[in-house]
Structure 1
Amino acid sequence: MRVVVVGLGVQGRKRTAIAGSEVVATVDPVLLDAGYRRIEDVPLNSYDAALLCVPDAPKVELLIYLLGNGKHALVEKPLLSEHDSDLTKLAGLSAETGTVCYTAYNHRFEPHFMRMRDLIHSGQLGQIYTVRMYYGNGTAAQVKASPWRDTGSGVLFDLGSHLLDTLSFWLGAIEQPFHVIAASRFENRSFDHVTFGATGKPLMQLETSLLSWRNHFYADIHAEKGSAHITSLCKWGPSTFTVRGRVLPSGRPDEESVTLVQADPTWALEYDHFKSLCATGGSSLQTDMWINRTLNSLGAAALSGEGQ
């Protein structure tokens, strides 16, 4: 497959390295080592797909151009718009032209995330009671130095989108509405620490932060027949997956743990997945539409002062 990388920031460089010899052109409006300044200048007959590693604002317009011209597209998360109709239009274009529009949530390809999905779907845990996740990094200062990143809802849209996608990946379609528990601006103009959740079954609490000086992720799922836990990601390793089997009527549970110490496999696995979608089809924006609606609702609530 012949691909164009659009945007040569940190993510664009990673995508270029993963795609290797399949990259036939690069696009960036500023950086001098890019071959083109605009995607429109790249000959349409020279590529099959584009990897969009750009800020949020131009994503929809770029996708309309690509899908409308029969080109597959991988776009870095999140795919957001103030207007739901924009994502509906993208879904229609994708179906009409037979192209793939795939939003990159690479954590789906974390080995322990796939183990968690398979465990939940197996029914071994029984009814899920509670889901709690935390995702934090220490990038507050870098975000503050970036005029386009330190705006609006900040960490809520950046890391919160990952957590919502993970919930969907593990649990499938989620019906209950989410609410803001706390939204703070400790160092930044935008929110740099946000906690949000949903009541009902399961009960969900999600926390995101740019103020975690050691990057960290954890997930705790408690259920009818036991619990499952993830500590850290492969890129920050070691990463551990633990399953505990409930002992009735009470007592110390049986426990099994798997710990991985390895390089981050998710970028390469995701690129392979994208290529397989391009070959066989199967693109869908339903999860993106749900994430978009949920984050826009939460963002509006946070900006209005709810949870502060």
Structure 2
Amino acid sequence: MSIAIVGFGTQGKKRFNILKNSKKKIYIVDPLYKSAHAKKIENLKIKLRYAFVCTPDQEKLKIINFLIKNKVNVLVEKPFFLKSIKEYKTIKRLLKKYETKLYIAYNHRFEPNLIRLKKYLDKKIIGKIYSVEMYYGNGTSKLWSNSIWRQKDNKGVVIDLAPHLLDTYIYLFGNLPAKGDFFLNNNFENTNMDFAKFGFKKNDICITLTTSLIDWKNNFEINIIGNKGSLHVKNLCKWDDSYLIYRKRILPSGKPNEKVFIEKMGDPTWKLEHNYFFRKLKKRRTNLNNDIIIKKFIDELFA
């Protein structure tokens, strides 16, 4: 089984490290990496079955079109945002014509405590939901300042981290509304946005999402409050021990009963996502509709 990793930056190297101990033959495509097998995917004269596209956003469409037309199954790093819905429809037609698969990677769906969280929500154990708060922050502000291609996108941190939060919301609760609003946005250290708080109301529930490049310690949190209790996720396994906390409300008031799940540090999500990609190819052609929903929401946010 032959796989190409197209783009050998941070994400490409992560994919390679997961795949390198498998029986799959791996080819690296990158214009800057000296040991790459090819500088462009068109120059790689190998019959491929799979490709992992880990390039900057503006390069993805051309590469993916080429791969689909050559009947290569594709995993592409999120987000896969195109200029128009027409371009998405073209991709769908190509996938059908060439019987090829496309998967947009959102590895946080495979966080053990997010999987547990969804099970609790599906059981409606905290009753009627009153509020949802989600926060994703890191301290990469200065790295963004030094990145030419990052600075070209005025959406800044929103285009980088919000897709993860929005995809997580879809995973946990279903579809997004058509429109949200900014509550706060700033460019403290960058020419584009490096901190943003936005959200929406749905069925009288307030949903708030925050993305940040100015957290000096990586931070991921979800807080969901209901009339019978609350659910809280703190941390991703890649950074530290991850916690899911279920608090059962005591009436009329009092300290809630708590149940805590601890997932030790060590990121299992990449390998789980790879297994999902290879296994689910038989069942689904693409999760492209997910990114269409997210793109529409973000476009409306900036409209």
Q: CA deviation at 1:157?
A: 0.5
* Residue 255 of structure 2: aligned partner: 252
Asked if 2 retains the 8 angstrom alpha-carbon contact of 1:84 and 1:293, the reply is no
Asked if 1 retains the 8 angstrom alpha-carbon contact of 2:162 and 2:211, the reply is yes
| 1:109-138 deviations in Å (ceiling 9; x for gaps) | 111111111111122222322110110000
Asked if 2 retains the 8 angstrom alpha-carbon contact of 1:176 and 1:199, the reply is no
With 244-253 and 165-174 compared, the bigger mean Cα shift is at 244-253
Q: TM-score, normalised by structure 2?
A: 0.94
Letter in 1 for 2:12: G
Q: CA deviation at 1:264?
A: 0.6
The equivalences for 1:182-201 within 5 A come to 182-201=184-203
* Residue 163 of structure 2: aligned partner: 161
Task: Name the count of aligned residue pairs.
Answer: 299
Asked if 1 retains the 8 angstrom alpha-carbon contact of 2:177 and 2:202, the reply is no
Distance 1:6 1:117, change over 3 A: same
The equivalences for 1:102-181 within 5 A come to 102-151=103-152, 152-181=154-183
Asked if 2 retains the 8 angstrom alpha-carbon contact of 1:160 and 1:208, the reply is yes
* Residue 276 of structure 2: aligned partner: 273
Q: Which runs of 5+ in 2 are unaligned?
A: none
Which one of 217, 242, 245 corresponds to residue 245 of structure 2?
Answer: 242
With 97-106 and 275-284 compared, the bigger mean Cα shift is at 275-284
Q: CA deviation at 1:65?
A: 1.4
| 1:196-247 deviations in Å (ceiling 9; x for gaps) | 1002333210000000001111110112321100011101112110011122
Asked if 1 retains the 8 angstrom alpha-carbon contact of 2:176 and 2:297, the reply is no
Identity of aligned residues (%): 35
The answer to whether residue 77 in structure 2 is matched with residue 84 in structure 1 is no
Task: Please tell me the root mean square deviation across aligned C-alpha atoms, in Å.
Answer: 1.5
Asked if 1 retains the 8 angstrom alpha-carbon contact of 2:221 and 2:233, the reply is yes
Q: CA deviation at 1:107?
A: 0.5
Letter in 1 for 2:29: V
Q: Post-superposition, which runs of at least 4 consecutive aligned residues in structure 1 deviate over 3 A?
A: 279-282
Work out the CA distance in 1 between the residues paired with 2:131 and 2:92: 33
Q: Which runs of 5+ in 1 are unaligned?
A: 302-308
Q: CA deviation at 1:58?
A: 1.2
Instruction: Describe the SS at the equivalent of 1:126.
Output: coil
* Residue 289 of structure 1: aligned partner: 292
* Residue 11 of structure 2: aligned partner: 11
